[in-house]
Chains A and B, each alone.
Chain A
């Protein structure tokens, strides 16, 4: 009814305007209303009327994660929960800083392995849920045990976790069948702790797939409202970390905008209407020099922190990609620096031959890389092809040693413009050394399907994200359940089959995170295997795209000395990798 009356009044307003026949007479202030609108925000208590206007000076506008209207607030549904559901509302036991490789106790007070198969967790005291109930070890125990009864994103932990026992009012003991240290550490900063008194009343279906409207969490922000174009969070002034850790958060509201196009987002950032944007916006490196009030983490190339590695998936089930010599030739033929400078305007970096992200530098065995690593060298690529019996055919492209012609396709999803440009460069590079490769752009489904079913030739992939352990990267590229790939999307889309590598990955998972030497020993062996067999070819590091405006909020993260080094990223899984700390550092701009 309310909407109808709104619509009616608009129509009346409309006809009035058109009667006057000059809709463009008045010029209100710059672009968006928040700067010009008189602010009459009915504050809390007295009326209880919901706040419907968010004063610009108290509001942080973000964008880049939400590609459609918000539809759920279930922290276990990592696919499409509202931006910040995990991080702003629900919190994890620890938060993890990839840049310093440090775990910071968050809901937990501390945690440690007391013996090979026992992990003891102490919970921080004095934390309350936003409905006033205390957050206890029972909630933590309950949350983990939910994974047993419902299909959740962390359910697989119960394949190797045996039981959880409550030792005392603030201590839990986790007993493992099989201690997977690396994976466990990953869960510590990724499993959202939920309140037992609410979630125990839900059935298994609602736990796994319910929308969980009006979420009750422990975090710094509370659910305020949402509409077609945004999600609004309001600051939780009773947040535990204000007292416990001395944090304070300046923005009262966070308004996360739904993206429709990169052009629209770019316009909003340039005008200072969106304070933080996490889309890949082409040409940002040029605009940074253009005097716009827009900034990035680094003020010089590569501008953005690295978030994941883009690599070339090679289908080893098909000829001639099953020939390691052929793969070597590909590795030498691709000019990654050209992609970095021409396609990305230096907003990314060329990847280390191992594909390990910069934060995992300490796991790179420099000797192995020096010995086996490949760099752009088309002459060498040609030489390898010739030596392996690939002879030029009539059309100038090489044929397989048995004389059969070679015609390959390299795929990326249609519309992913930076990747589309990249595979044009790659195809050209490969054609230059005589390999007939054509770029192809199926829609995302076609691309996904080709990789899951193993029907592609070559594809670009970047699914292994930054994390606390290189294990997650190796678990992906050396995923061992080859027959399950279609349903698990576990990685290894080229179907590389090497039991030795698979065993090493499992062994890495079982190595304690404190045992750096032990981890390095294993990763070094994995790098030797990877660089010898080339099941994938790492290309460049995709950025944690973040462009921010100083117009309304300052003290953003940056690489400089006086700046804070948090991740300025609103994507899922980044709030708990220090983005939440970014919020505690923001200051209102002085005007």
Chain B
């Protein structure tokens, strides 16, 4: 057991170092110079722009050789310093991310979890009857193939603009600042419904289809037939099939939770929801090395943690993994 996790930990550490290096490299491969973009947006007179250009190059440490920038990056990272955003200058990257993450969590966490539970149960249920399989499964295919953005715009247009049932912009009313009151919570809920619905429906379709296919596959497996031949009740067979079919779904869930920090770009743009997805898009468009690095660092950590959790979960839910481990030790 110790050796198993020890080895895993080593692999994760190496992966982290490699991923963070790639994370640092990628923005720097983009053509163009971020300071030029800052200057372009400022609309300065030429004579002043010259002064400010050299000032910023120095301020962001972009005037030193690239290898030195890399070393400085690691040093800063160990001090917990993610740098300052270029796009939202002079706000520290960590603050920008922390301000946006709660919105991703309240949107994505329920959407992923609820769609997972509902989708899996529904998929398993649908696989049982021909009638349901013929009606629900096509619907699932349609849902999962729907682009988030398209469904989002459709919902915003129909329920937001045409019939005015739900607001379609922002995380809460623009007339409020966050505070603890029923007015605020009610507003937050109202604004949450449409983006949540657009995410939930698409994800639900995906999980349901996945589960349905998996169950059918498991029911065709030798052990199912063997059980059937032994005269085991249908319910028992399905229980076994479900337990086997859920394994890949758990992996999928963990991976989705791992990238939760990345937000949902298109949903956030359609509904003006202030999450990390929108930040990443803007960071790319504005050549914001530091913000982009920061966002991806969180994603890397999220994915690694998710993978680790999968490892642990498999030990708990899959006896075969457990057996393999003791066999080794």
Contact = CB atoms under 8 A, between A and B. Distances in A.
B40 A260 contact: no
A33 B85 contact: no
A71 B270 contact: no
Interface stretch (A10-18, A360-368, A427-435, A535-543): A10-18
B212 interface: no
B205 to A, nearest CB: 18
Interface residues of A, number: 94
Nearest to B179: A52
A210 B43 CA distance: 19
Most chain A beta-carbon contacts within 10 A, residue among B30, B50, B169: B169
Contacts of A484: 46, 50
Given A69-B99, A229-B170, A229-B171, A452 B36 contact: yes
Interface string B163-176: 01111111111111
B51 interface: yes
Interface stretch (A240-248, A267-275, A576-584): A267-275
Interface in A1-57: 2-3, 5-7, 9-11, 13-14, 17-18, 23-24, 27-34, 37-38, 40, 50-56
B65 to A, nearest CB: 19
Interface stretch (A72-80, A94-102, A293-301): A72-80
Interface in B169-220: 169-181, 183-190, 192-193, 197
Contacts of B165: 24, 27-28
Contacts of B183: 33, 37-38, 40, 53
Nearest to B59: A209
B148 interface: no
A229 B174 CA distance: 8
B220 to A, nearest CB: 34
Interface in B275-292: 278, 282, 285, 287
Please provide the 4 A-B residue pairs with the shortest distance between their CB atoms, ordered closest to farther. A490-B46, A156-B47, A445-B32, A79-B42
B177 A24 contact: no
Contact of A153 (B42, B160, B168, B270): B42
A481 B168 CA distance: 49
Interface stretch (B86-94, B224-232, B243-251, B314-322): B86-94
Given A151-B52, A448-B32, 16 more contacts: A2-B178, A3-B178, A17-B189, A24-B165, A31-B166, A37-B175, A52-B181, A78-B42, A78-B43, A155-B51, A227-B178, A228-B171, A261-B269, A445-B33, A446-B31, A481-B46
Interface string B37-59: 11111111111111111111001
A465 interface: yes
B147 interface: no
A524 interface: no
Given A156-B45, A489-B40, A18 B176 contact: no
A211 interface: yes
A558 to B, nearest CB: 26
A443 interface: yes
Nearest to B173: A33
A208 B59 CA distance: 11
Contact of A488 (B46, B156, B174, B287): B46
B153 interface: yes
A159 interface: yes
Nearest to A232: B177
Interface stretch (B5-13, B103-111, B134-142): B103-111
Contact of B153 (A151, A263, A445, A479): A263
21 contacts: A7-B102, A7-B106, A24-B193, A33-B173, A33-B175, A37-B176, A52-B176, A68-B282, A69-B274, A71-B90, A80-B89, A153-B44, A155-B51, A208-B55, A209-B89, A228-B99, A257-B174, A264-B270, A271-B164, A486-B36, A487-B53
Contact of B168 (A11, A31, A151, A475): A31
B53 A260 contact: no
Interface in A154-175: 154-156, 159
A449 interface: yes
B282 A67 contact: yes
A14 B90 CA distance: 36
A122 to B, nearest CB: 26
B46 A489 contact: yes
A225 interface: yes
Contact of B33 (A28, A34, A449, A479): A449
A165 B33 CA distance: 41
A33 B153 contact: no
Given A6-B178, A488-B47, A444 B37 contact: yes
A310 to B, nearest CB: 15
B15 interface: no
A449 B32 CA distance: 6
B227 to A, nearest CB: 35
Nearest to A23: B193
B49 A267 contact: no
Most chain B beta-carbon contacts within 10 A, residue among A34, A79, A205: A79
A152 B52 CA distance: 7
Contact of B88 (A31, A69, A225): A69
A491 interface: yes
Contact of B49 (A9, A444, A465, A488): A488
A32 B186 CA distance: 12
A155 to B, nearest CB: 5
Nearest to A259: B272
B259 interface: no
A79 B38 contact: yes
A268 B55 contact: no
A501 interface: no
A268 B169 contact: yes
Contacts of B52: 151-153, 208
B175 A53 contact: yes
A493 B30 CA distance: 22
A490 B38 CA distance: 14
B43 A14 contact: no
